C-alpha cells in the first residue's frame, strides 16, 4: 500500500501514455496519487484529470515562479474551483523560490500569504515549495518562508493539527524540525536514493517516520535505479524502500506508515 503525494501527472510528458502510467502505479501497489497544480490553468486541468480516475486527487494553487500572474480574480477562481471539486484536497504547489527569481521576493511572499489565507478559509492543508538561491541548504528563502508559516500557524484556528507538507525537502534539519513543530510533514523524493545524498539521509533519519510523506515529483527526480529517465508514480517504491532502510523498518511498514500519514493530512478517505 503506497501513495505518491506529489506527481505532475497533468504535464505533457505523460500525454502519450498517461493511462499506462496509472496502470503501472496500480500494479506497483499505489492507492493514491496527488497532482499538484502550478497555475490557475493547470489547477483546472489537474481537477479535470483527478475526476477521471478514483485513485487521483489534486491540489490547486499558483507556484511562486508564477506569482506575477496572481490577482484578485485568480484568488476568486481558485476558491470557486476548490468549492466545486470533491477531489481537491490541498492548496498547492505554493511557497517561495529564490533559485529562479521569476518574481520579486516581496511579490512571492504576498502571494504565498494570500494563498495560505485561502487554505485556512477552505480548511485545506498546503503543499509548500522551498528552493534556495544556488540550491543552498539554508538561506534567506528558508528564513522568509518559516517566518511566514510560523505567523500563519499562530493565527490558524486549527492549532497543532496537520497543516501541510514541505515538498521535496532539501533544506536543513533545523528548518525541517521547525516545520514539524508547526504541524507540517516533510516530503521525501528520489534524491534520497542518490549516492551523494548522505546529508539528506541523515535528515530523514533524524525525523520521526510518522512525519514523512513519499513523493516522486514526477516526471522529475527519478530515484535510483531510474535516475536520468522520466520519473513516474510506480517508482515511489524505491523511495519507500530507502526510508525503510534508514529507519530500520520493513518496506511494508514504511509504506503503511507513510500512506497513513498522507491519509491524515489530505483526508481522502479509505484507500481504493
| pLDDT score of 270 | 59
| pLDDT score of 162 | 64
| pLDDT score of 272 | 41
Residue ranges of the chain with per-residue pLDDT less than 70: 157-162, 270-272
| pLDDT score of 153 | 87
Bridge-based pairing state of the strands 88-97 and 126-131: parallel
Neighbours of 83 (CB within 10 A): 9
**Domain spans of the chain, in order of start:** 2-266
Strand order from edge to edge, sheet including 126-131: 2-4, 30-36, 56-60, 88-97, 126-131, 164-166, 184-188, 212-214
| pLDDT score of 159 | 57
CA angle 259, 264, 270 (to 5 degrees): 65
| pLDDT score of 129 | 98
CA distance 97 to 101: 7
User: 214 and 2 in contact (C-beta within 8 Å)?
Assistant: yes
Which helix (DSSP H) or strand (DSSP E) does residue 188 occupy? Answer: strand 184-188
| pLDDT score of 158 | 58
Taking alpha carbons only, the member of 59, 146, 133 closest to residue 102 is 133
Looking at residue 183, the DSSP 8-state letter turns out to be: T
CA distance 230 to 96: 25
Taking alpha carbons only, the member of 113, 76, 120, 75 closest to residue 94 is 113
Residue 248 C-alpha cell reads as 530500520
pTM: 0.96
Taking alpha carbons only, the member of 119, 238, 138, 236 closest to residue 178 is 138
- DSSP states along 159-221: TTS--EEETT--S-HHHHHHHHHHTEEEEE-GGGGSTT-HHHHHHHHHS-GGGEEE---BTS-
CA distance 260 to 245: 19
> What CATH code would you report for 2-266?
3.20.20.140
Amino acid at each position: 500500500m503506497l501513495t505518491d503525494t506529489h506527481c505532475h501527472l497533468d504535464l505533457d510528458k505523460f500525454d502519450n501514455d498517461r493511462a499506462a502510467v496509472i496502470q503501472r502505479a496500480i500494479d506497483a501497489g499505489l492507492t493514491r496519487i496527488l497532482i499538484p497544480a502550478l497555475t490557475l490553468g493547470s489547477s483546472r486541468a489537474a481537477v479535470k484529470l483527478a475526476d477521471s480516475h478514483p485513485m487521483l486527487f489534486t491540489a490547486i494553487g499558483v507556484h511562486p515562479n508564477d506569482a506575477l500572474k496572481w490577482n484578485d480574480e485568480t484568488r476568486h477562481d481558485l476558491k470557486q474551483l476548490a468549492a466545486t471539486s470533491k477531489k481537491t484536497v490541498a492548496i498547492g504547489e505554493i511557497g517561495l523560490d529564490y533559485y529562479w527569481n521569476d518574481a520579486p521576493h516581496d511579490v512571492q511572499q504576498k502571494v504565498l500569504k494570500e494563498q495560505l489565507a485561502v487554505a485556512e478559509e477552505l480548511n485545506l492543508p498546503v503543499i509548500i515549495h522551498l528552493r534556495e538561491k544556488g540550491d543552498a541548504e539554508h538561506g534567506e528563502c528558508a528564513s522568509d518562508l518559516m517566518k511566514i508559516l510560523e505567523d500563519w500557524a499562530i493565527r490558524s484556528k486549527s492549532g497543532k493539527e496537520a497543516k501541510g507538507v514541505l515538498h521535496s525537502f532539501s533544506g536543513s534539519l533545523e528548518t525541517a524540525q521547525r516545520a514539524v513543530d508547526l504541524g507540517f510533514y516533510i516530503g521525501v523524493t528520489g534524491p534520497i536514493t542518490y549516492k551523494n545524498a548522505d546529508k539528506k539521509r541523515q535528515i530523514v533519519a533524524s525525523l520521526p517516520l510518522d512525519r514523512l510523506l513519499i513523493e516522486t515529483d514526477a516526471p522529475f527526480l527519478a530515484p535510483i535505479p531510474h535516475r536520468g529517465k522520466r520519473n513516474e508514480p510506480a517508482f515511489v517504491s524505491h523511495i519507500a524502500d530507502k526510508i525503510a532502510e534508514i529507519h530500520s523498518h520493513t518496506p511494508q511498514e514504511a509504506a503503511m506508515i507513510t500512506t497513513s500519514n498522507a491519509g491524515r493530512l489530505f483526508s481522502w478517505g479509505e484507500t481504493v
